[in-house]
Structure 1
Amino acid sequence: MRTPPNQLPCWTERTNMPTTATFHSWLGTLFGHSESQVLLLLDNKTALQFLVAWSLFESKCFAGYVRAPDIAQYAQRTAPSIGPAALRDAAAHFHARYQDRKRFENLMHGHKDQRLLALLGRPFDELTSEDRLFLLVFVVFRYRNNIFHGNKGVESWLFYREQIQICVQAMQILVSHAEQTTPTMKDEAA
């Protein structure tokens, strides 16, 4: 029996036998959220753009996998070749946003990073371009973790639309910079 094109095979828990589900039904089951929440997410271009940009960012800028300890090295290596104005507004936005303790706790979910805490404790104008890049990439990383590993419902992604859009814009700049420095993507698409 052939699966319709808009449906994917799944396994039922009860019978351990394959069954068919739409993508949004499958994703909702996988995330433990309702199909309607998943439909809201899939209809939202911001969320989709974040997922695509993250995939490119992680692949291009971190050789396929980002870990929190890698961010400092990345910032040190990359900051000197990116103009300080390119990411200033995004870094300033997140620096100001996470002065609020509740927002910071919501971002971090119990995780600690001493360098990030120290940077948030200093005036933004005193931060070096490396500090600003570290802060920005760390925040993007935390958004990624909260999206993929967080305990929030899918619909909560939409509450952070402005912040997610800023993350996407920052990743666009960083991926473009990495591609300009080391072109590889056009070859892959050929």
Structure 2
Amino acid sequence: MEFFELTEIAPELAGLSDADRKPIELFTLTWSIFECKKLDRDASIPKMEEKLAGIEIDNIIFEEALNYFKQRYFPDGQESYHFEGLNIRQSKVKARVESALCGQATDPKELLLICLIIVYRFRNNLFHGEKWVYGVKGQQENLLISVNLLERCMRLFPDGI
């Protein structure tokens, strides 16, 4: 099946440019490899915490992603409308992410975990349809920042298989 054939099933795909579609494809593939090889085919926040517990973290690993997420979700320390779009359902996790993005967390493992939680939300929203509800157009930067972070984490995390 070719991409253009998918537009018969999901007409909204016809409006995606290559610039919109390519990051989706790259993110999907990168996440799949990350989850399989590094998270033992079991992506979850506890699994990510477990993986982070056993490694040393250098801030350079997540600095680009953290700065991007701070600007996107809490510019000038104030929540933007994008934050609710992450669709974080657990109040403790939501508070933890908010705290870190507002500069209240300093532990490198916690900050990397927060970045991975956001990437995990992108994954859930993309794979489970939330992104399709309000559109995947304009998600290129989110997805490319996420791919860069996942690639760095794949070099850092031990294999799970």
- Range of TM-score over shorter length: 0.7 to 0.9
Partners of 2:99 and 2:105 within 8 A in 1? no
Structure 2: how far apart are the matches of 1:35 and 1:70? 33
**1:23 positional shift:** 5.0
Which residue number corresponds to residue 172 of structure 1? 151
Partners of 1:107 and 1:143 within 8 A in 2? yes
Structure 2: runs of 5 or more not aligned: none
**1:72 positional shift:** 2.7
Deviations 1:17-65 (A, max 9, x none): xxxxx55434762xx444514x646973211111111111111110112
Deviations 1:93-142 (A, max 9, x none): 2134222242111111x612414423422542742111111101100100
SS in 2 for 1:124: coil
Identity of aligned residues (%): 21
Counterparts in 2 of 1:140 and 1:113: CA distance versus 1, 3 Å: farther
Q: Does 2:92 align with 1:92?
A: no
Deviations 1:128-173 (A, max 9, x none): 1111111011001000111111334389323121111100000110
Which residue number corresponds to residue 132 of structure 2? 153
Paired residue for 2:30, among 39, 48, 53?
Answer: 53
Structure 1: how far apart are the matches of 2:108 and 2:8? 40
**1:177 positional shift:** 2.2
Q: List aligned pairs for 1:94-133, cutoff 5 A.
A: 94-99=69-74, 100-108=79-87, 111-122=89-100, 123-124=102-103, 126-133=105-112
Q: Does 2:58 align with 1:83?
A: yes
Q: CA RMSD in A?
A: 3.0
Using the size of structure 1 for normalisation, the TM-score is 0.67
Counterparts in 2 of 1:23 and 1:92: CA distance versus 1, 3 Å: closer
Q: List aligned pairs for 1:17-28, cutoff 5 A.
A: 22-26=2-6
Structure 1: how far apart are the matches of 2:160 and 2:38? 12
Runs of 4+ in structure 1 over 4 Å off = 181-184
Structure 2: how far apart are the matches of 1:103 and 1:59? 29
SS in 2 for 1:44: helix
Number of equivalenced pairs: 156
Counterparts in 2 of 1:98 and 1:75: CA distance versus 1, 3 Å: farther
Letter in 1 for 2:96: A
Q: Which has the higher strand share?
A: 1
Q: Which has the higher contact order (CA 8 A, sep 6+)?
A: 2
